[in-house]
Amino acid sequence: MKNYLFLSFLLFSVSSFAQLTTGLNFGIVKTNSGNVRGYQSNGVYTYMGIPYATAKRFETAQKPKPWTENRSTMTWGPVAPLLSPTTSVQDETEWVFDHDFGYTNEDCLVLNVWTNGINDGKKRPVMFWIHGGGFTAGSSQELPSYHGENLAKGGDVVVVSINHRLNILGFLDLSAYGEKYKYSANNSVLDMRLALEWVRDNIANFGGDPNNVTIFGQSGGGAKVNTLMAMPTAKGLFHKAINQSGAFRGNMLGQEVTRQISAEVLKELGISTNNLDDIQTVPFEKLSAAGNKAIRTVSEKLRSEGRPVAGFGLSWGPSLDGDLLPYDMLSQEALQLSKNIPLMIGTTITEFMPSIGLNMLNASNESVRSYLDKTYPGKTDKYLEYAKKAWPTHKRPSDLMDIDMRFRPGAVYQANVKSAVTGGAPVYMYLFDWQSPVLDGKYKSVHCMEIAFAFNTIQRTRNMTGGTKEAQKLADKVNLAWVNFAKTGNPNHKGLPKWPAYTEQNTSTMHFDNVCTVKPQLDKELIELVTGQ
């Protein structure tokens, strides 16, 4: 009996504490630039802040300078500077999201790797995560849900996440002023391609398969997935794609507009084209302010000419340069380019909820109707009819005003046009319906909610998910769907009902909730009413 009790105590002790292995010569992996040294946590080898490239401001990134010592890669690397540095936060919302803003440096081209094995000759699928924040903010460490340890461990995949140039640093179009800045309009996208090339050239030593790479991202990260799918020189660097809440209708800007913006930036800074290199030494705060003013100026000019910019308005982001990005993201040319790339795409049911900003969680039917009257003038009755028809189980009146109509229409459109490509790879559509119990359910299925379920980081994100048994049970299902998709291009597994590929005719959609179900599209009438399409 005593031996049994001792053994039980020993097993409890071993399982109750995180297992950490370190050493000055532990976890050494060779890369093309030199050896890196990481650590092992819970059986997962972890490497953080590995340089995959280096770049001078507005210039095309190059491979990093090689190093000869075993490089320590045990902490997060630098993140891209933000247009508006975070100096204050809203207490409650910040508690829910629990950001880690990191430290900034313009030379921020680093990546992180999590893997179950190194130098072992195994070919694990690679899941290449691209962070959100639009094209202007965010980082690979920004949210606790992004941490790759659980995803790598449970799925036996290699997880890679990256930082890259953002905002004015990644997208100021100086291409009109010489070869040196030829690709400056899309340097951010070129950074991502370079990170994928690093994976191609180095990931085998981390136990990964360079011929089985899935790119996935959420919000702005999903838009970046779409951008890479439309980039001819990225073809072959990845083989599957997942777009989480990042599908948008609308076209990329052309050089006519991007060069107007750059001209306004130079004008604001007082830099002539003869002294263009002076822009490399302008303090970032001054550069950022000039960029913000230039965008406002060009936006006003376009509006005065009767050419308002669609979508979320004029902002930093990829543009059509006729070279790196010759096609709009969802053009027929881009769809043919990514024809053989299986796609999983979806959104959460409530995303950016107006009820939070307006303090209308428990608003009355009358208050919700008033909001809808202002938001969809002349359409309120039909909106409520279609919304209740699509989501009859919603309980609070505010649930109907919180139904996402920002990302969902774009996801449906992309799924329709992608699945219509003759002989193309399959598309799988999901809708994340699960509602968080945190703060009396105030945050419902807010933007970013599903990420923790895909990464299986429920306990790291208790502030958002509640860390409940129900959340963990669903995460096990969602996580395995993501892993199976990365492995085979098909997310199906025994824990889910049969999930058919999506087409515009069958519209099969996986609804992730405490009870997962597959249904045809429920909100077709609502989307057509709101978008007019």
Residue pointed to by tokens 């903010």: 137
Nearest residue to 114 via CA among 140, 145, 149: 149
Structural element, H or E, at residue 511: strand 509-512
Catalytic residue from among 139, 145, 219, 338:
219
**3-class DSSP state of 36:** strand
| Residue 173 contacts residue 185 (beta carbons within 8 Å) | yes
Residue pointed to by tokens 């995460």: 475
Q: How far is CA 146 from CA 128, 205, 381, 456, in A?
A: 11, 23, 40, 10
Distance CA 61, CA 55 (A): 4
What are 111's strand-pairing partners?
A: 50, 162
* Surface-to-core class of residue 117, CB atoms within 10 Å of its CB (0-12 exposed, 13-18 middle, 19+ buried): middle
- Annotation says 239 is catalytic: no
**Amino acid identity at 175:** S
Distance CA 430, CA 244 (A): 9
Neighbouring residues of 394: CB distance < 8 A, sequence distance ≥ 6? 387, 388, 400
The two three-digit tokens of residue 40, written as one number: 């092992």
Catalytic residue from among 149, 197, 264, 351:
351
Distance CA 200, CA 210 (A): 5
- Widest pairwise Cα distance in the chain: 86
The two three-digit tokens of residue 308, written as one number: 């308002």
Sign for the CA dihedral angle at 416, 417, 420, 425 comes to negative
Output the 3-class SS for 338-378. Answer: CCCCCEEEEEECCECCHHHHCCCCCCCHHHHHHHHHHHCCC
Residue 40, by phi and psi: left (phi above 0), alpha (psi -120 to 50) or beta?
beta
The H-assigned helical ranges of 343-468 are 354-357, 365-375, 380-390, 397-401, 408-419, 438-441, 451-455, 462-465
Q: How far is CA 471 from CA 348, 449, 480, in A?
A: 15, 11, 14
Distance CA 33, CA 56 (A): 18
- Annotation says 525 is catalytic: no
Catalytic residue from among 447, 450, 508, 511:
447
- Annotation says 164 is catalytic: no
- Give the catalytic positions in this structure: 219, 351, 447
